[in-house]
């Protein structure tokens, strides 16, 4: 789904922050496809500390960032579409990168209707066994 190089840059920035001993933060655009603690969202954005001391099980794959963290003492699972990351930066220095926000588009289901169902595919012309 996400064919950009953004997830690769996010992983590199995360490693760069850790190598320098800095805490990586991400600014995330929030909508219905983002699972974050809504009480901390301001102007459709939330800032998340994704350092190894602040979260557990961090995964930055090509489509999603996921981890668990405590907010107000309550453990929560966080899910962020990679396209929703507006920036990643080091808390200590402010150095980092900003990104274009690309709203998440879930895979569209196949067309529904009378013609689309569990009908077998139409026979196609092809090779024929000749004896």
pLDDT tens digits for 79-111? 999 999 999 999 999 999 999 999 998 875 555
The answer as to whether 86 is a domain residue is: yes
Could you tell me how many residues make up the chain?
131
The answer as to whether 42 is a domain residue is: yes
The answer as to whether 115 is a domain residue is: no
Separation of alpha carbons 28 and 39, rounded Å? 14
Contact 61, 19 (CB under 8 A): no
pTM: 0.77
Segments forming the whole domain that contains residue 27: 5-98
The percentage of the chain sitting over the pLDDT mark of 70, rounded to a whole number, equals 79
Beta bridge partners of 49: 25
Contact 87, 26 (CB under 8 A): yes
Count of domains forming the chain:
1
The answer as to whether 121 is a domain residue is: no
* Per-residue pLDDT, 73: 92
The answer as to whether 58 is a domain residue is: yes
Per-residue pLDDT band at 127 (split at 50, 70, 90): low
CATH of the domain at 48: 2.30.30.220
The answer as to whether 57 is a domain residue is: yes
Kindly tell me if the per-residue pLDDT of 131 is higher than 50.
Answer: yes
The answer as to whether 110 is a domain residue is: no
């Amino acid at each position: 789904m996400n064919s950009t190089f953004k997830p690769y840059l996010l992983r590199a920035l995360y490693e760069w922050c850790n190598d320098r001993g800095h805490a990586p933060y991400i600014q995330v655009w929030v909508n219905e496809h983002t699972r974050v603690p809504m009480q901390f969202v301001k102007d459709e954005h939330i800032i998340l500390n994704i350092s190894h001391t602040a979260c557990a099980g961090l995964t930055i794959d090509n489509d999603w960032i996921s981890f668990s963290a405590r907010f107000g003492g309550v453990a929560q699972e966080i899910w962020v579409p990679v396209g929703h990351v507006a920036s990643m930066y080091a808390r200590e220095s402010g150095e980092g990168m900003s990104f274009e926000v690309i709203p998440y588009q879930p895979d569209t289901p196949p067309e529904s209707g009378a013609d689309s169902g569990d009908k077998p595919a139409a026979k196609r012309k092809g090779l024929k066994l000749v004896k």
